[in-house]
Structure 1
Amino acid sequence: MDKLCTSPADAISDLPDGASIAVSGFGPSAGAPFSLLAALDERGTRDLCLVGNTIPPGAQTLVEAGRVRHLIVSFTARAGGSSPAEELIRKGEVTFELVPQGTLVERLRAAGAGLAALYTPTGLDTPIADGKEVRYFDGKPYLLETALPVDYAFIAGHRADRLGNVEFRGANQHFGPSFAKAAQVAIVEVDEVVEPGEIPAERIGLPGIFVARVVRKTVVSALPKHGPARRDHDVPRTYNGKPGWTRRQMAELAASLLPEGSYVNLGLGIPSYLSSYAGDRHLILHGENGILGYGEIVPDERRYPDVFNASGYPVTPSPGISYFDSVTAFEMVRGGRVDVVVLGAYQVDAEGSFANWQTDGMVGGGIGGAMDLVASGRTVMVMMEHRDSRDRPKVVQRCSYALTGKACVDILVTDLAQFRRKDGGLTVEQVAPGFTKQEVLALTGIDAATGMPTTAENP
């Protein structure tokens, strides 16, 4: 049984117009099957349905060429931004379904397991729940989500043998296994093909029974493998002519608020700074891309191939680090084993609801894994600047953007203050040096008539 194909074009030679394809990839290009996507571009196949977390650059070309009719993704664009896909959706030339990341992999896993559907707490009280069945188990509500089978899966691995057994490297497993299992035809492109038995059995991340075809990688992307170099935002913003906390100071404060020895998931943006202070608190860091026990962000990803966090930044592998797929990563979260999730946001309101995936003018958005993360019922911390780039308050009476989670924020850290949710409202516990709590509250959008309890020691 030899599953090795002579070329990417050979591997997709039977792929018809109208096919559904699950395409792996995390961040800008990690784990994206560029060779298979290039072959698909040359083939000229049309009327496609693409399934994935984001739309990798190779797939973006297909979207822009008008060869994709439907998208099932966690990101059509990053919140606050736009993309060619967003523009085509706005024009009605492409339809889409936005799916939380953990729900996406679980729907694909269910299809591969021969299950018709699943119930999940993810997405309750958000637009994702619109029109879906809600059922209660043990007094708790869950959404019905249907399984998501696909015709083909394009995934990338490190090594494979001719029987189709695949080895992944580092944190680059993420969507590969669930996408492959959901497909009638799973095609894997790899750096190296070896003979059966050369990959140690315990290092096989995807057994060959789930893989139809293997092909050697022929296209190496010129894009950065992980996230772009993080800009240093350690220059504080000023309010009333005075500096607030820098992002690093915010991260140091946030780390000090977390229980020693906690398992902590860090989201995109400002929360990623917290990894620099995790060691001092003995925090074990978790990423939904499939990594547990990483350390600080490093400037040169070549030191640690395929070791990156959920923001896409290369990180140090701490002693005891482990890697797994995204299904397992979200089992850790929804199962309540991750103690704290730390997320960025565009708005947090007086009752502790927050919004971080869609802003004004967007038709889609960037849900990512945030809804799954807050569905765990564990501690939720939000880190964000106190006011946005247009000098509008981000701490508001009620969120005007689509919700990520309702009444779930336990701790809020801005560059001016630290809040905690108590008795259904936000309480100020401390403020940045040089500011009074009255100044801080005046810079929020909380209704003065409603008021906000304050316990800050600062006057």
Structure 2
Amino acid sequence: MTKIFTSAEAAVADIPDGASVAIAGFGVGHSYPNSLVIALKEQGARRLCLVANSLGAGEYRPELLLENGQVSKAILSFSARPGLPSLVEERAAAGELVLEMVPQGILVERLRAAGAGLPAFYSPVTVGTPLAKNKEVRQFGGRQYVLEHALAVDYALIRGFRADTQGNVEFRGSSMHFHPSFAKGARVAIVEVEEIVEAGAIAPERVGLPGIFVARVVLSTKKVAVPKGAMRRRAPDTRRKYFGKPALSRMELAERAAALLPENACVNLGSGLPTLVASHVAGRNITLHAENGALGYELLSESGTPDPDLFDAAGGFIEMRPGGALFDSVVSFEVARSGKLAAVLLGAYQVAQNGDLANWSVPGQVGGGIGGAMDLIAGASRLIIVMEHSDSKGRAKLVRECSYPLTAPRCVDVIVTDLALLVRRGEQFVIEEVAPGFSVDEVRALTDMDLLAAEQVGSMRPGAGTASVSA
């Protein structure tokens, strides 16, 4: 029986009401199976359980299935993103949709486990967070682990670069991410590709997903236009004012954080402010890791031409350095959880005095945006929080206890804000530097936690050295 289908409509025609469907794709619009998503919308199957990293954005977003009244449950890593409206959140809050939040690395691992015939596994991720509630927790080697169950689905909709008539799939660039694990966890995996070739046209070592895991192959017909320009990370040279005085700009803040990274380090940059750090490591022997499956990359140069299949975890276009590597999300989170990263830089909603971190959900949200943060932290890398000192309403982000849902307990090592550099010593943070023009007392006045001050508090200059944050 041939695996080649004449159209996306034919490939999804038998998906029944009540089916579970995993849809691979990254961020708001990278490498989604657009043709299959639209075909499933037009096919009209109801009461679907959708499994995805997020439901995307744009003309062909999987969220269209939700808008069309076809979804009764969603299992996601992102149900909401800052500044964007979320239909998932609205429906879940109204009781019209069941929402389950899963960290990104655990999501791919649960599907991979289903494909590997493993019913469950223990993970260090989500320990001490609301996501561990009602789950079995055991200790191994003196550390706590949460039991996670395999996640098998009826269908997976994925996207590749090329496929042959045997169903072998080749991927390009950093666009492999969720696709292999989603396909392996499905009873029926359907892939759309740019090109279908005869068996043997794809060299065996270039096969990213063996055809034995693929049931159906179609040509892609729904294309997303590639943005013009390099999408280089910039931030307006604006500065927040505290006590009527300007603090560090966002780019100065990112530059100071970049200087904390030691040479020969492998680091991960989270979304938001931490992504700006990438602009300040050019020319340094620092290896950047992106959880969508890139290791050893840099931002696309101003003169570079964007490749839709080369992007980082924040959606920015990249180019690979000599010696870099590309792989799927399973391998990427193996890098993170195994402790291979020297540092992880993340943003935060709140950091507590004892180092607790809250950065994925705020009061009033049913879900939030977990992404890969919990998995990255579980690798016991040095965690550096990069953020503005107060939130947009002037409220303290450095608090005695987090009132927002925890991402992980006692995990933050260093905080870099537009006012101060703070290092955790035991159960308390120490002010090591303050922004020019500000005093220790002014920093304390804007902070809702007890702070110690170093014997010699330095000036927080962009590009300063790293001695003050040595372990």
Specify the TM-score bucket, using the shorter chain as the normaliser: over 0.9
Mean CA deviation greater in 209-218 or 224-233: 224-233
Within a 5 Å distance, the mapping from 1:396-411 to structure 2 comes to: 396-411=399-414
The answer on 1:31 being equivalent to 2:34 is: no
Aligned pair 1:150/2:132, yes or no?
no
Q: Which amino acid aligns with 1:56?
A: G
1:112-151 matches, within 5 Å, as 112-151=115-154
Structure 1 stretch 40-49 or stretch 309-318: which is displaced more? 309-318
- Relative to structure 2, which stretch is displaced further, 300-309 or 105-114? 300-309
Q: Give the direction of change, closer, same or farther, for the CA distance of 1:255–1:24 in structure 2 (3 Å limit).
A: same
What is aligned with 2:467? none
Q: 1:299 to 1:89 in 2, by over 3 A?
A: farther
Report the TM-score, using the length of structure 2 for normalisation: 0.93
The question of whether the paired residues in 1 share the 8 Å contact of 2:431 and 2:451 is answered with no
Instruction: Choose 259-268 or 299-308, whichever is displaced more.
Output: 299-308
Aligned in 2, Cα 1:224/1:175: closer, same or farther, shift over 3 Å?
farther
1:160 aligns with 2:163: yes
2:107 is matched with which residue: 101, 104, 108?
Answer: 104
| Separation in structure 1 between the aligned mates of residue 217 and residue 80 of structure 2, nearest angstrom | 31
Which residue of the other structure, out of 218, 221, 224, is the alignment partner of 1:221? 224
Of 264, 269, 282, which residue of structure 1 is paired with 2:267?
A: 264
Note if contact 2:233-2:276 (Cα within 8 Å) is conserved in structure 1: no
In the TM superposition, residue 230 of structure 1 has moved relative to its aligned partner by 5.5
Q: Kindly tell me: are residues 339 and 197 of structure 1, through their superposed partners in 2, closer, same or farther at Cα, counting changes over 3 Å?
A: same
Preserved CA contact (<8 Å) 2:229 2:305: no
Q: Are 1:333 and 2:333 an aligned pair?
A: no
- 1:185 and 2:188 aligned: yes
Is 1:369 paired with 2:364? Answer: no
Q: Tell me which residue corresponds to 1:86.
A: 89
Change (3 A) 1:47 1:223: farther
**Separation (CA, whole Å) in 2 of partners of 1:415 and 1:48:** 45
Ranges in structure 2 where 5+ consecutive residues have no aligned partner? 460-471
Q: In structure 1, list runs of 5 or more residues that go unmatched.
A: none
Q: Return the offset for 1:235.
A: 1.6
User: Is 1:64–1:85's contact at 8 Å kept on the other side of the alignment?
Assistant: no
- Report matched runs for 1:39-438 at 5 Å: 39-57=39-57, 58-79=61-82, 82-221=85-224, 232-298=235-301, 302-438=305-441
Q: With structure 1 as the length reference, what TM-score do the two structures score?
A: 0.95
CA distance in 1, matches of 2:456, 2:116: 52
Alignment deviations for residues 153-207 of structure 1 (CA, whole Å, 9 cap, x no partner): 0000111111111111100000000000000000000011111111122211111
Deviations 1:386-423 (A, max 9, x none): 01111111111111111111111011100111111112
Aligned residue for 2:66, secondary structure, equals helix
2: CA distance, partners of 1:434 / 1:182: 56
**Following TM superposition, by how much is the alpha carbon of 1:430 offset from its aligned partner in structure 2, in angstroms?**
0.6
**SS of residue matched to 1:87:** helix
Alpha-carbon distance in structure 2 between the residues aligned to 1:23 and 1:301: 30
Tell me by how many angstroms 1:226 deviates.
Answer: 12
* Structure 1 range deviating more: 19-28 or 230-239: 230-239
Q: By how many angstroms is 1:304 displaced?
A: 3.5
Task: State how far apart, in whole Å, the 1-side matches of 2:400 and 2:284 are.
Answer: 33
Could you tell me whether the CA contact under 8 Å between 1:124 and 1:142 is conserved in 2?
yes
Structure 1 213/299 Cα, relative in aligned 2: closer, same or farther at 3 Å? farther
Deviation at residue 79 of structure 1 after TM alignment: 4.8
The answer to whether structure 1 residue 440 and structure 2 residue 422 are counterparts is no
Q: 1:357: Cα distance to partner?
A: 0.5
Name the SS of the counterpart of 1:444 in structure 2: coil
Secondary structure of the 1:331 match is helix
Q: Is the 8 A contact 1:298 1:314 kept in 2?
A: no
- Cα distance, 1:77 vs. partner? 0.6
Please give the root-mean-square deviation of Cα atoms over the aligned residues, in Å: 1.9
Q: 1:456 to 1:252 in 2, by over 3 A?
A: farther
> For 1:179 and 1:288, how far apart are their aligned partners in 2?
16
How far apart in 2 are the matches of 1:409 and 1:425? 11
Report if aligned partners of 2:236, 2:250 keep a CA contact under 8 Å in 1.
Answer: yes
Contact 1:22-1:153 within 8 A present in 2 as well = yes
1:67–1:306 distance in 2 versus 1, CA, 3 Å? same
